[in-house]
Structure 1
Amino acid sequence: MSDDARVRLADPDDHVAVMRVLEGALLEVEASTVREGIDREAVWVAVVESSDGGSPDDRVVGALVLDTPAREGVAPRPEEVRPDSRHVEAVAVTRQRRGRGVGRMLVETALEETGCDRLTAEFRPDVEPFYAALGFDVETVPGDEERRWGELRTGR
C-alpha cells in the first residue's frame, strides 16, 4: 500500500528532487533529459506532505520519466512515431518508500494519463520482479545478460 503518497505531473521546481531520487536509485539519467521531460509533461512524481513542521511543500519520494528526448540526428520521439506506445526511461522510489506500491502508482498513473496501450522499459536484472509484478513480459536483451527488456500491453 502506498500510504499517504499521491502522484502528479512534475513541475520545473521538482527537477532537483527528481534527480536526487533517480541518483539515489543509481540510475544514470541526464539532467537535461529530466528537464525536457518535465517540459513535455512526461515526468510524474510521487509526493507526500512535507513533515518539517508546517511547510506546505510536497516531498518527492518517487519519479517516473517517459521517453528519451529527441537528440540531434536521431529519429523523432517514440510518441510521435507511435502515439499508442511509450517507453519508461527511468522509474525510482526512495529507499524508505519502496515496497509500498509507489512505483506501481507511478506506472499506472503514467499509463492512464498518456492513454497509451503499450509501455516498454529496459532495466537491470535486479528490478525484474518489479516489472514482472506489473504484468510486463520480460526478456534478456540480446547480447547483454546484464540488461532486461519489458513490454506491457494494456489492451485498450
Structure 2
Amino acid sequence: MTFLRLFAFIFFLVSANVALGDCAPDRVDLRGDWGQASYVVEVVDTPESRGRGLMFRESLPRRAGMLFVYERSQSVSFWMRNTLIPLDMIFVDAQGVVQHVHQNAIPLDETPIPGGDGILAVLEINGGQSQRIGIAPGTELRHPAFGAQARWACAVN
C-alpha cells in the first residue's frame, strides 16, 4: 500500500472516530476561535525517528502531519535539511497549547528555526495550512501524548 493510500485509509478510519470524541495515537485534533481540525499523524518519539522526520519525502497528504514528541518539555529548534516540501511547524507545550507557529519553512534550508522554551511536541503540516485554518498561539491540541494535564485532555474511558 502506498504512503498516500495508507494515510487516506487511516484518515477515513479516524474521521469516523472524531464524532465520538475519542483520542487516537495516530490523530491530532486542534481547536481554536477558528473552529476545529484533525490531522492523521505519524508520531516520532525516539531520537532516531525525530532526527529523520520528514526528510526525503516528496509530498505529504493534505490532512496529514508528523508529531514530534519529546520525553520532557525543553527548548527545541528545527531545520529543513533534506526536507523537500515546505512545512508549517507548530510548537506545543505540555498542556497541548500552541506557543509558536513557524509558517512555510523553506525546503532544504539549514537555518535554525527556534520553537521556544517549554516545548513538549512539534506538529509539522504542509506549508500554508496553519494560516489558512487559523492555527496560532493559544490553539489547543488533543493527543494522548499530552496526558491528563492537557488543557483539552483525551476522554477517560
Note whether the superposition's TM-score is higher than 0.5. no
| TM-score (normalised: structure 1) | 0.30
From the two aligned structures, give the one with the greater strand fraction.
Answer: 2
Which is greater in Rg? 1
Q: Which has the higher contact order (CA 8 A, sep 6+)?
A: 2
